């Protein structure tokens, strides 16, 4: 069982930055994959960035070059650094972990990009 809690959402102006954090209840050393998804109002949940064991890192085309996913295994924490934010990045952001065939999700954190 893995429990995930996100931190760091909020309101930011276009062009600004935010860093999301996702604290895991257990070790993230042996997970198969971990990443961030987002869901905007009226839209389906979509992949933002993911780290897959043995594969590497993948980003959605819309965030490539602006967002950076990273992890601190010692702190069991996943991060998403978001720079040059745009209004279309507004969404609820969810932390995700894939472990032993199961998918685990955080409760989500709201990111709003608006002037």
pLDDT value for 40: 96
pLDDT value for 32: 87
Rounded to 10 degrees, the C-alpha dihedral 102/108/113/115 comes to 180
pLDDT value for 48: 98
List pLDDT tens digits, range 41-64. Answer: 999 999 999 999 888 999 999 999
Q: Which residues of the chain have pLDDT under 70?
A: 26-29
């Amino acid at each position: 069982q893995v429990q995930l809690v996100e931190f760091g959402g909020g309101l930011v102006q276009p062009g600004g930055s935010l860093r999301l954090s996702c604290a895991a209840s257990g070790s993230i050393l042996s997970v198969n994959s971990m990443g961030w998804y987002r869901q905007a109002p009226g839209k389906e949940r979509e992949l933002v960035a993911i780290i897959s064991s043995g594969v590497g890192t993948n980003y959605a085309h819309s965030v490539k070059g602006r967002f950076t996913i990273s992890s601190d295994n010692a702190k069991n924490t996943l991060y998403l650094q978001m720079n040059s934010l745009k209004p279309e990045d507004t969404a609820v952001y969810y932390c995700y972990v894939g472990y032993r065939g199961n998918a685990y999700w955080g409760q989500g954190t709201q990111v709003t990009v608006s002037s």
